[in-house]
Amino acid sequence: MNRRKAPSVLIYSDDTTRRDIEEALGKLKVETTPASSFAAVGERLKEGFVNVAIIDASNGPSKLPEALSGIKSASPATEIILLVPGGKPAVPQAAENLAYAVIEKPLNKKFLYTLTSKALEKQSLSTTGTAPKGAPETAKITGGSPLLSASVNSLNSAVTITDMNLKITYVNPAHVRTFGYSPEELMGKKNSVLYPVDDPSGVSGKIYEALLMVGWEGERLALRKDGSAFQAYEKTSVIKDAAGKQVGIVSIIDDITSRKRLQQALKESEERYRSFVETARSAIIAIDSDGKIILFNPAAEKIFGYSADEIINSEFGSLFPPEQKDALRLELGKGSGVTAIRGTTAELTGLNKQGEEFPVDVSFSTCR
C-alpha cells in the first residue's frame, strides 16, 4: 500500500521567520521547503505541486502583485499565505486578492497554524469530490431551505456571507440598502471593500483571528459604496457543515450611527444639566414620589447647612418648620407623596441645620 505523500509548504522568508513558521506547522505533518529568493520559488514550482506557499512580503519582491500572479500562473491551485510587516501601509489590493490570507507580523503561530490547516482542507474538498472544484464553499448554506432564505432576506440587518478566504458569496437586501452595492458588484470580492483600510484600531485582523476560535461581536467602522464611513455593530461567526468543518463566515451588521448620535446628545445634555445644577446660585433640590430628597446641589448645602450626603433620602419637609407642613403639603399635593405638583412659586419659611428659620421663595415643578 502506498503511503500518501505529506502536503508541501514552500516558505519564502528570512531564516528567523522560517524557523517560527516551521515550529507553528510542526503538528500539521507537512513537508516544508525553504526558498532563499523569489527565483527559487519559481524553480520549486517547476519541480512539482506545492499545496501552500507562505510568502514574507518583508523580503520583497518590489512588485508584489506581479510576483504572486506568477505563482498562480505556474500553479493555480497553490494557496498563498502572505506575511506583511505590522503597522506598515496596506499591501496592494491586487496582491491581497491573490492571497488566501494576509497575516501581520509579528507572527501569531496559532493563527498561522489554523489558516494553513484551512487552506489544506479547502484543497482536500476540491480534489476528493466532496464539493465541486471552484464552487463557493458556502453553497450549502446560501442554498438552504426556502424558509431560511426568506428569513435572511427579510432581516433589517445587513448580512454578509464569505468563504474562509473572506471572499463574499452572499449579501441580503438589507446589505444592499446599508452599503449601496448590488450583489453582483460584491460577489467574489474580499470583504475588506466594506471597511476603511486606514482603520486606526486595526480591528479587522483581530476580528478574523477571534472568530476562527470563538466568534466575535463589537463596534467597528464600515464603508459605503459612496466612500462615506459609518459606525456599525457587527456579530460574526463561522459556518460549519454537517461534518463540523469550517466552510464560511457570516456577519450580521447594523448601522448604529443614529444610536451613537443620540447617546452623544444625551451625554452632552446630561453634562449641561450637571453643570447648571452644580454652578447655580439658587438651591436646587429634587425629591422622589415619596417626598424623599434625591438631589441636593452645592447652593442648597450652603443655604441649609447640610451636606448632600447628610440630607439625601431625608424627608423634604425636614427643611421647613413643623408649622409649614400644611402649606408645604398644599403645594406638593395631598398626602406625603408628590402626586400633583404644580408649576407655582410659594413664599415659605426654611429651616437650616442649626435650627434657624429664614424666608424662602420655593418654585415647584415636575420632572417627567
The whole-angstrom separation of Cα 87 and Cα 49 is 33
Q: Determine the pLDDT at residue 148.
A: 65
Of the spans 119-133, 194-208, 312-326, which averages the highest pLDDT?
312-326
The whole-angstrom separation of Cα 189 and Cα 202 is 20
H or E segment at 105? Answer: strand 101-105
The whole-angstrom separation of Cα 90 and Cα 111 is 19
Instruction: Report DSSP letters for 33-92, one per residue.
Output: EEESSHHHHHHHHHHS--SEEEEEGGG--SSHHHHHHHHHHH-TT-EEEEEEETTSPPPP
Q: State the chain's mean pLDDT as an integer.
A: 81
Helix 109-128 and helix 203-213, axial crossing angle in degrees, nearest 10: 60
Where is pLDDT greater, at 349 or 125? Answer: 349
What region, left, alpha or beta, does residue 329 occupy, with left being phi > 0 and alpha being psi -120 to 50 degrees? alpha
Locate the DSSP E strands across 172-228. 216-223
> Where residue 299 sits, what CATH number does that domain have?
3.30.450.20
pLDDT tens digit sequence for 311-324: 999 999 899 998 88
Same domain for 111 and 16: yes
> Where residue 52 sits, what CATH number does that domain have?
3.40.50.2300
Where is pLDDT greater, at 152 or 126? Answer: 152
Same domain for 41 and 125: yes
Same domain for 200 and 164: yes
User: 162 by DSSP, 3-state: which?
Assistant: strand
Which residue matches cell numbers 522560517? 18
279-289: average pLDDT: 90
Same domain for 118 and 141: no
Same domain for 143 and 121: no
Q: In the chain, how many domains are there?
A: 3
Same domain for 266 and 300: no
CA angle 286, 291, 297 (to 5 degrees): 25
pLDDT for 8 beyond 80: yes
Any idea how long the chain is? 368
Same domain for 76 and 125: yes
pLDDT for 129 beyond 60: no
User: 344 by DSSP, 3-state: which?
Assistant: strand
CB 212 within 8 A of CB 246: yes
Grid coordinates given for 45: 514550482
**Which amino acid belongs to residue 338?**
V
Residue where a domain stops, chosen among 246, 271, 296 = 271
Same domain for 173 and 152: yes
Residue where a domain stops, chosen among 252, 271, 290 = 271
Q: How far is CA 76 from CA 8, 72, 131, 308, 345, in A?
A: 15, 4, 18, 75, 85
The whole-angstrom separation of Cα 95 and Cα 236 is 25
The whole-angstrom separation of Cα 290 and Cα 242 is 60
pLDDT for 138 beyond 90: no
The whole-angstrom separation of Cα 282 and Cα 274 is 14
Same domain for 130 and 142: no
CB 11 within 8 A of CB 35: yes
pLDDT tens digit sequence for 63-77: 788 888 888 888 888
Residue where a domain stops, chosen among 75, 101, 135 = 135
Q: How far is CA 248 from CA 21, 39, 132, 190, in A?
A: 25, 34, 16, 13
Same domain for 299 and 263: no
Q: pLDDT band at 3, cuts 50/70/90? A: low
Same domain for 258 and 141: yes
Helix 64-74 and helix 38-47, axial crossing angle in degrees, nearest 10: 10
For residue 27, what are the domain limits? 1-135
27-31, 181-185, 363-367: the lowest-pLDDT one: 363-367
pLDDT for 128 beyond 50: no
130-139, 167-176, 198-207, 294-303: the lowest-pLDDT one: 130-139
**Residue 47 burial by Cβ neighbours in a 10 Å radius (0-12, 13-18, 19+):** exposed
Same domain for 354 and 317: yes
Of the spans 110-114, 233-237, 299-303, which averages the highest pLDDT?
299-303
